[in-house]
């Protein structure tokens, strides 16, 4: 079960995406794109095999011919039901035949190809043997923005996923925290994500007290106490599109310092969102948020990039990070999630998904960003 349930797109939508991808590949000087099962294949064709195995499944996109999906014969009926199947040719192969030779016959020997990042080495190495003069590049390296600009239907699905995540926060803040383990609260978050329509939970981070100062902490056995700050960061896929939001709550009344640190992160998050507009660079969003935290004297405690894209996965380009000069384009969707992490003490992070509109940024998460106290 991949959990990547195909979103409700038509064959025409998928045809348009595959044509756009093939054109972008040609513009980038590539002879074509090779796409194995995973988020790129779902986005292009709507096809998500129930199990990814050692049998080769590969979408071949080239500028000069219709898309071809090389697929094991026993999985061909499943592939034929994919929403994008009418827009491509299925080329099935049976056990005992060489699918790499069949794939190589579709390709320009000596060409350079973009390969989806999650293509197994097993397959790529076999293709290299079949086409020794061809070269290969990571699809994310050569076409990082392929899936970055969302159309209206995708934006509606992302907004719905964000609204569902917001409902999760509204529920969780009413439940008891003190005396329960992080893992118990994490299980509640997962249950709520599913209850509000997610098909897949990607992460439920509950970082209480000193654990909140480790941005990679997921959940542990620590029992949450009164006086703890608790970072809650959760998300997954709903109808094929991602959610990802963070709120930091306090168990009981916070201290003045805790309030001040939270205020700084909130101001940084506000500044990051305010920097979102068409034509601004990704790094401008990072700089806007980071400047607020640095000016408040906490720069060394903001130890990660400000944000990442979201779509059919919960982490993808574009990245809001110093050095990323990619201009923002209406339809891009990404997180704005600055934080301050005080080792051994506590952490604060606030995260919303934001989409670029003609006038600026629009948040897809809208729960309060004030410091919420919980019991």
Q: Which residues bind Zn ion (CB under 5 A)?
A: 227, 233, 244, 246, 258, 335, 351
Tell me which residue has tokens 């064959």. 11
| Closest to 275 in 3D by CA, of 286, 291, 262 | 286
By beta-carbon proximity to Zn ion, the closer residue of 92 and 351 is 351
Instruction: Kindly report each contact of residues 85-89 with a partner whose C-beta sits within 8 Å and lies 24 or more positions away, as own/partner.
Output: 85/11, 85/45, 85/46, 85/47, 86/11, 87/11, 87/12, 87/14, 87/15, 87/18, 87/45, 88/18, 88/45, 88/59
Q: How far is the CB of 39 from Zn ion (least distance, A)?
A: 16
Q: How far is the CB of 227 from Zn ion (least distance, A)?
A: 4
By beta-carbon proximity to Zn ion, the closer residue of 14 and 250 is 250
Q: How far is the CB of 5 from Zn ion (least distance, A)?
A: 21
By beta-carbon proximity to Zn ion, the closer residue of 34 and 172 is 172
Rounded Cα distance between 22 and 78, Å, is: 24
Answer whether 247's CB lies under 8 Å from 232's CB: yes
Rounded Cα distance between 177 and 247, Å, is: 14
Rounded Cα distance between 142 and 267, Å, is: 35
What token pair was written down for 187?
């299980």
By beta-carbon proximity to Zn ion, the closer residue of 103 and 335 is 335
Rounded Cα distance between 20 and 290, Å, is: 35
By beta-carbon proximity to Zn ion, the closer residue of 92 and 244 is 244
Rounded Cα distance between 340 and 259, Å, is: 12
Q: How far is the CB of 205 from Zn ion (least distance, A)?
A: 7
Q: How far is the CB of 71 from Zn ion (least distance, A)?
A: 34
Q: How far is the CB of 153 from Zn ion (least distance, A)?
A: 23
By beta-carbon proximity to Zn ion, the closer residue of 155 and 232 is 232
Q: What is the residue-wise DSSP string for 11-68? A: HHHHHHHHHHHHHHHHHTT-SEEEE-TTHHHHHHH----SS--SS--EEEEETTEEEE
Q: How far is the CB of 112 from Zn ion (least distance, A)?
A: 33
By beta-carbon proximity to Zn ion, the closer residue of 233 and 284 is 233
């Amino acid at each position: 079960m991949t959990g990547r349930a195909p979103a409700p797109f038509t064959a025409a939508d998928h045809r348009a995406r595959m044509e756009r991808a093939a054109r972008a590949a040609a513009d980038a000087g590539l002879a074509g794109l090779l796409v194995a099962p995973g988020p790129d294949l779902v986005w292009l064709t709507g096809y998500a095999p129930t199990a990814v195995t050692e049998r080769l499944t590969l979408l071949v996109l080239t500028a000069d011919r219709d898309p071809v999906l090389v697929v094991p014969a026993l999985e061909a009926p499943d592939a034929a039901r994919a929403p994008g199947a009418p827009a491509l040719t299925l080329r099935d192969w049976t056990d005992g035949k060489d699918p790499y030779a069949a794939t190589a016959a579709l390709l320009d020997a000596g060409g350079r190809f973009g390969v989806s990042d999650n293509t197994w080495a097993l397959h790529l190495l076999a293709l290299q043997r079949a086409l020794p003069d061809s070269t290969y590049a990571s699809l994310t390296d050569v076409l990082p923005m392929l899936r970055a600009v969302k159309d209206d239907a995708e934006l509606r699905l992302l907004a719905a996923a964000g609204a569902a995540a917001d409902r999760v926060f509204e529920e969780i803040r009413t439940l008891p925290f003190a005396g329960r383990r992080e893992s118990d609260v994490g299980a509640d978050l997962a249950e709520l994500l599913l209850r509000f329509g997610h098909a897949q939970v990607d992460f439920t981070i509950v970082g209480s007290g000193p654990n909140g100062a480790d941005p990679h902490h997921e959940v542990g056995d620590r029992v949450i106490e009164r006086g703890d700050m608790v970072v809650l960061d959760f998300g997954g896929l709903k109808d094929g599109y991602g959610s990802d939001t963070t709120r930091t709550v306090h168990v009981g009344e916070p201290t003045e310092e805790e309030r001040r640190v939270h205020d700084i992160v909130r101001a940084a998050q506000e500044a990051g969102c305010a920097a979102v507009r068409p034509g601004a660079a990704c790094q401008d969003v990072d700089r806007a948020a980071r400047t607020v935290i640095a000016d408040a004297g906490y720069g060394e405690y903001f130890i990660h990039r400000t944000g990442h894209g979201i779509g059919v996965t919960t982490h993808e380009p574009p990245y809001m990070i110093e050095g990323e000069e990619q201009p923002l384009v209406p339809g891009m969707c990404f997180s704005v999630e600055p934080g301050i992490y005080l080792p051994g003490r506590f952490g604060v992070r606030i995260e919303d998904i934001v989409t670029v509109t003609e006038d600026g940024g629009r948040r897809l998460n809208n729960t309060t960003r004030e410091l919420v106290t919980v019991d």
